[in-house]
Structure 1
Amino acid sequence: MLLSIIVPFHKVEKTLFRTISNISDQLEKEVELILIGDGIAKDIFIQLQDSYNHPRISIYNSAKMGANNARFMGVSKAKGLYVLFHDSDDLLPENTINFYLKIMLDKGPDVIVGNLQKILPSGESNKIYTFTRVDKVVTKQELSSNELYIFPTNIVAKAIRKECIENITFEDSSMFQDWNISAKVFHNINSLYISNKVTYQYYISEESVSSYKSNSLNKLENAENSINGIINYYSSSAANNRINNYYLQIIKVKFYYNLICRAISIGELNFAEQMRSKLKTVSYSHNTFQLLKCPKVLIMYNLISMKPIYSIFKLYMQKSIKRN
């Protein structure tokens, strides 16, 4: 088996059936689909099992434990050389699975990174990333700071060699779940193949927009545990691995920056200050030259770490929120 596609779901609705149909239409001989129910009622789960009697579709249920736990239950069941995570309300463009299989057979990298197409409730769509070094296998040691910056934090649209993910420890937070897995995957890989081809259609529903806006201090504190988990995972090797260390610093800046912005947006200024103090401890003294090649990280870092600029930035954000 070459590829295991893992779909966690916490409720059974039309989008799930659409997703299953979309993937099953592309199933090849060396591909399996694994569905992991996250605390689904027993009678509904049995009905779902009866609806999909296919030799390469497996359906499991678990106690309610969150999306990341469900994903890794899927990894434990996977027979494929690679795993591909997929959310229960999104779609694979036509011929996506064949694209992944061809790269696996011809190139065999540790991870194959595709592009995402974001589709808004209005129907408007756009690609999320613009990659520069594409359609060839590179080692992660070859990546520039800008390429490290845009290495996607999403866990979907990535076919990952199973051995690079099956021993990962992770935190199942209510925010930044993908970041927690993706950063640890990057730690474990050596080679990657990046493509601008859209391999994932990410549907933004009105519900997900509302969920994104519903920040709370508890969610932010929970998300902080996620970045702490990443830091601990890297601690044993980052100091001895240049590229892992650069990537960890970039992830920390992006993570703390996002937490600070969200904290300001709900008036949790004390938490924002706590995160600002942590961001200021990020070590850049030994890789300033590398940072200068990644202006987005430098801008984020300076916006938060330099007090006069941060004060203006905070005031601007607060006024923007009041206008909205």
Structure 2
Amino acid sequence: MTSTASSLPVSALQASQAAVNAALAENEIKEKENGKANGDESLEPGEIQEVDMQAQADAIRTVFSDPTNFNVKHPLYSPWTLWFDSPATKGRNLPQTPMSSFPQTPLPQTPGAAAAQGWMEDIKRVISFDSVEEFWGMYNNIVPPSQLPQKANYYLFKEGIIPAWEDEANKNGGKWSIQLPKDKNRSNVDKMWLYTMLAAIGETFDPQLSESSPQSLITGVIVSTRPQFYRLSIWTRAAPTGAGEDEKLRERIEAIGRHFKISVLGYSESQKLAGPLATEVEFLSHKDSEKKGKAAKKPWVV
């Protein structure tokens, strides 16, 4: 591992070490299998062929040491795409960055994409990735939320889903969100955003994701910077409807909000967060978010 890793967060170092260890173990198994396949007569029965671990370690390239030619890749459950917009990027292309060497996907041609065409003209697709290594390569090459200009947004959504209400995956859903005063959270928002992304790509938000229910309710996560506050949001593909609603869906949605508040953001379950420029962890369906005045519903709070 090169010195690049020494300045990474602890969680990144752990992910990197896990990648190296997994690759070493896999190479050692393959080496043993190759020895058997080749009928290596130099080994006594029960003897294990010695492996030059240092030589193999030197041959391993992770995204930390070689962002374009790494040979260790641990796939995620789903591929993801990072999007970005700010007043400075409207009507302009983003400057080239080290991330431009990663493969990118075209804008999905869905009915939702067509409906949100005007919105999507100002939002820029930064990168698509589908592995742990590519995620950390992305994370270590983007500006953290605390340093973004006012009215800027990062959108991390599953590949093929655009960050707009009109998308087919979002139109019947909603979002958990929290608003935090900027002056009190400038030192915390980067960690909160990192943990939110890790929970999303690690598929830990949705407690009922399983082989029998393989589609997660999570479609994407967003961090927004505003003149006086930050906002973190988690978008879901479904939302309770109220009348005759599925109680299991409500429980599943609520579990996402609790996990966000307690395990990701680090607050206690009973902690009250609302105050000047601050909100609780709140849920609203996208349809309810559009309603104004007396028709507007109060958000669901955990």
TM-score, structure 1 normalization: 0.27
TM-score (norm 2): 0.28
